[in-house]
Structure 1
Amino acid sequence: MSKHIAFLTATEGIERVELTEPWAAVTDAGHRASLLSTESGEVQTFDHLDRAETRPVDTEVGKASVEDYDALVLPGGVANPDALRLDEDAVAFVREFVASGKPVAAICHAPWTLVEADVLRGRRLTSWPSLQTDIRNAGGEWTDETVVVDGNLITSRNPGDLPAFNGTLLDALS
């Protein structure tokens, strides 16, 4: 059965492969993907610090409803989750999505948004290593593993973990 997956990003600073590879994985598996962002228009992806492609926004996060989606993917990039943390609608959407029990997959720096949403207390996860103090301060247990599943939360460390991240996300959708 086809599922509807929300990909939530800020308007720029998104690590391209952390958006495009999970997107391809879910759409190749027959699911529908939608790009949510803090503003309408387009988002700017990056290959590390270099501008890459732009992608069209399907829905502003402030107009989105958790009920319309079966899973949430939070791509990384340093600037992307840092900007999302400052957007009240994005933080509220993430908080509600985690509380819904539906799968939430976050890679690299994306757990910063989970920290801001205050949903990590008692949860075990991984991320880019520089986030470990923030995760611990938010009540989470940080670990250095390729992919970590804790309830509905799926996390990975970096683009090198994308094959395992994508496979675990697809398993959660089946």
Structure 2
Amino acid sequence: MKLASLKHRRDGKLILVSRDLTQAVDASDIALTLQDALDEWDTLSPLLQARYEALNDNNIGERFPFNPADCESPLPRAFQWADGSAYVNHVELVRKARGAEMPESFWTDPLMYQGVSDKFIGPRDSIELCDEAWGCDFEAEIAVITDDVAMATPNEKAGNHIKLLMPLVRR
């Protein structure tokens, strides 16, 4: 199932996108936003899946051409995010740009940090910089969207909490 958020208000408007990325259909009558869908995932995901299948089977009439430029980030805001840094060479370059040395332990110990989100940009939105002379850094990542995961959840049960995967560009 492919979900997207059209630019609409602060948190977008949920749509479903065809497998071939050419058509879309409104899903806001099921869940207004992707966050709303995630909040009630067990109840709403079967309804979204059924509409997605109808879209791909050409059994739905209200479809429209899909244009990624009309979209927000799938989740324009998130309550929090945790970033596990897998590209240590990137971390080293960023630290060097700030004049900071990278601790030797970063090469062997996993690096993870937590943040809050006020705004993720859309897939075709410009990256706004105050001054390009400051240098810019952006990276593409894979976002793993989960439901509520209790602290100390065992590794073998953590996968049950994954609901969606999506590409993410963060600045």
Same fold (TM over 0.5): no
TM-score class, shorter-chain normalisation, is under 0.3
- TM-score with structure 1 setting the length: 0.23
Give the structure with the higher percent helix.
1
Give the structure with the higher percent strand.
1
- TM-score with structure 2 setting the length: 0.23
Q: State the structure with more CA Rg.
A: 2
